[in-house]
Structure 1
Amino acid sequence: MAARVSSPRERYREQTRSEIKAAAVRQLAAGGVESVALLRIAKEIGMSGPALYRYFASRDDLLADMVLDAFRGAAEAIHAVDTTTPGRAALHALTRAYRAWALAQPHLYLLIQGTPVAGFTAPAETLLQARSVLGPFLSVFVQGRPLAAVDPLLDGPRAWLSGEAEVAAWVRQWTDLSADTPAAAVTLTGAIMAWSQMHGTVSLEVSGQFTGMGHDPAGLLDVQTTLLADAFQLR
């Protein structure tokens, strides 16, 4: 089937939406999420306020699009990592890639992982985009053999897999593992641990909490990743 060709009007609309979002990202980078204001964006790009509202119905509508774009950017950085050979090398590559993206786009990182915006409800698609970012982390744990210290954590992911078909399908997509296999709970546990550990370090670095502490955040993340790989006996 031939690809649908967009009309000039549709292309103009998407171009204008992109211009609006670019201005919003500049405001976000300059002053945080509270500085994003539709009327100020309209003035910056030479558009009237009522005209801008034809493209985004509200500030929250604009923020929702920006959140999805941020997750897509993070997913692009993560999916560029070669995880065809699962194991600790791939895990290190993933955590480094995510840290690099967050440091290059700190305002977007904080938009999706920082302090929640008061009154803002993220669109339903956000969950799918977040899982797209986390998916490759599942694949690196497919041959994991967790140490006994990890055992107390396995029951939660096991119940999650058996109780939610969407989660089981997501794990299968990235690992080819059925939800009822022990390895599926292991991979999900590993990904959750990697995600929480990585965000703890990256969030502190991006928000400047490591300033003056006299250590290298990149080195800290690498050591934490090595310890996690050891806990799952990854090769």
Structure 2
Amino acid sequence: MAETQQGPRARYREQTRAEIKEVALRQLADGGVGALALTRIAKALGLSGPALYRYFANRDDLLNALIRDAYDDAATAIGEAAATARARGPRERLRVLAGAYRAWAVSEPHRYLLIQGSPVPGYVAPDDTLERARAVLGPFLTVFVHGSPGADTAAMVDRMGAWLKRDTGVASWVAEYVPDAAGDDRASAVALTGAVLAWSQLHGAVGLEVAGQFTGMGHDGETLLVAQSGMLADAFGLE
């Protein structure tokens, strides 16, 4: 009986939390993190301030939830793209994954900036956001694992190899996405190198686009990203 009585309460709680997050996302879209105000959220939902704190302890607790959701949604978008491109060659998979990353970011710019923009002063993200961020980047490891990077990336491959040896968390993450490279230090380091380079290129191009820095220029974000993906594929000898 107790479980039956708790069911509707739990559903109501989750519904209210979802409504709070929806209003918070509208505030983010309107004015960024600085516009996030719990008192305004409570007023929009017809709640008192104390009532709102029954669902989120404070602003940082709400930010935690929004950041987790953003990473999870981005990871879903990348994962779905990886599934559709699984049978294609690594060069084409890279293009598809990069395109999916950009598509999510430009469709959800306020959420992209929440997780990839300037750090929020005084805010420390929860530890589990690292795992979520790795889920976004993980599919890129599979693209590069059999790559043949040239001399220009040799120093970075060495550095990534050293990172894998000293950080078991990173090593486990790489092994999860490219189990065929288990025991092959070189392949694991190459995969990690490619994924890190892809992330830096993606963040650079997509971040500039989302921030409106390409406005008035003679190109668009999609063509730039295709060109960058091609150059990175060339650097790793991807077919």
Structure 2: which 5+ residue stretches go unaligned?
none
Distance in 2 between residues matched to 1:8 and 1:166, nearest whole Å:
39
Q: Within 5 Å, give how 1:15-164 maps onto structure 2.
A: 15-81=15-81, 82=83, 83-85=85-87, 86-164=89-167
1:191 aligned residue: 195
Give identity over the alignment, percent: 56
Match for 1:46: what amino acid? G
Q: By how many angstroms is 1:178 displaced?
A: 2.0
Match for 2:28: what amino acid? L
Q: By how many angstroms is 1:130 displaced?
A: 0.1
Q: By how many angstroms is 1:51 displaced?
A: 0.3
Task: Please give the TM-score of this superposition, normalised by the length of structure 2.
Answer: 0.94
Equivalent of residue 186 in structure 2, options 158, 182, 189: 182
Contact kept, 8 Å, 1:168 with 1:178, in 2: the verdict is: no
Q: Provide the secondary structure at the position in 2 that maps to 1:7.
A: helix
Task: Please give the TM-score of this superposition, normalised by the length of structure 1.
Answer: 0.95
Distance in 2 between residues matched to 1:115 and 1:163, nearest whole Å:
29
Aligned residues between the structures: 232
Q: CA RMSD in A?
A: 1.4
Contact kept, 8 Å, 1:39 with 1:49, in 2: the verdict is: yes
Distance in 2 between residues matched to 1:156 and 1:150, nearest whole Å:
10
2:238 aligned residue: 234
Q: Provide the secondary structure at the position in 1 that maps to 2:144.
A: coil
1:210 aligned residue: 214
Structure 1: which 5+ residue stretches go unaligned?
none
Match for 2:86: what amino acid? T
Contact kept, 8 Å, 1:162 with 1:180, in 2: the verdict is: no
Q: By how many angstroms is 1:180 displaced?
A: 4.8
Distance in 1 between residues matched to 2:197 and 2:210, nearest whole Å:
20
- List structure 1 segments (4+ residues) > 6 angstroms apart after TM superposition: none
Tell me which moved more, 82-91 or 70-79. Answer: 82-91
Match for 2:237: what amino acid? Q
Q: By how many angstroms is 1:179 displaced?
A: 5.5
Distance in 2 between residues matched to 1:143 and 1:182, nearest whole Å:
10
Q: Provide the secondary structure at the position in 2 that maps to 1:140.
A: helix
